Amino acid sequence: MTMRDIRIIGDPVLRTPCEPITSFDTELRALVTDLMDTLLGAPGRAGVAAPQIGVSAQVFVYDADGHRGHLINPTLELSTELQHDDEGCLSIPGLYFPTPRALHATAHGVDQHGDPLTITGSGFLARALQHETDHLRGRLYVDTLRGDTRRRALREIRAGRYSSPRRA
């Protein structure tokens, strides 16, 4: 089992949009395995995206609502109906804020062999798909917050100690 260090807010890799994956080789399969090992070593988490372990590649793994897997080069279709549950992130440890997300999401992409893959979910799975896809675009969940909630989140992030990598 290879657990990788989680990059913490402030690391530029978390704010850089990832390159699409074009090579479906043993290196990619090893990355997917490392991502899943890292996720499974962080109980209670819903997903880990490649930039969170310092790799600029469009791939994430997820384990939410009884569904576990990975997705490469994802695109999303989102419902207009929203959910407003608390959300957190391994890259901003210990902070959780009510975060608006689409209630339903369908993610299209490919698996580690390049075969087409579609994942459809509601509730927590939909939230996880959106959260992890945002990571691949250089966005963190706090970027979706607005108003007083955003101000409170930014204040708490500034007050936190987020300067070194942390083991998931």
- The catalytic residue positions are 132
Q: Is 89 annotated for ligand binding? A: yes
The conformational region for residue 23 under phi > 0 = left, psi -120 to 50 = alpha, else beta, is beta
Alpha carbon distances (Å) from 146 to 81, 141, 159: 18, 11, 19
Beta bridge partners of 75: 108
Q: Is 108 annotated for ligand binding? A: no
Q: Is 67 annotated for ligand binding? A: no
Burial 47-65 (b: 16+ CB within 10 A, else e): bbbbbbbebebbbbbbbbe
As annotated, the binding site for Fe cation includes 89, 131, 135
As annotated, the binding site includes 89, 131, 135
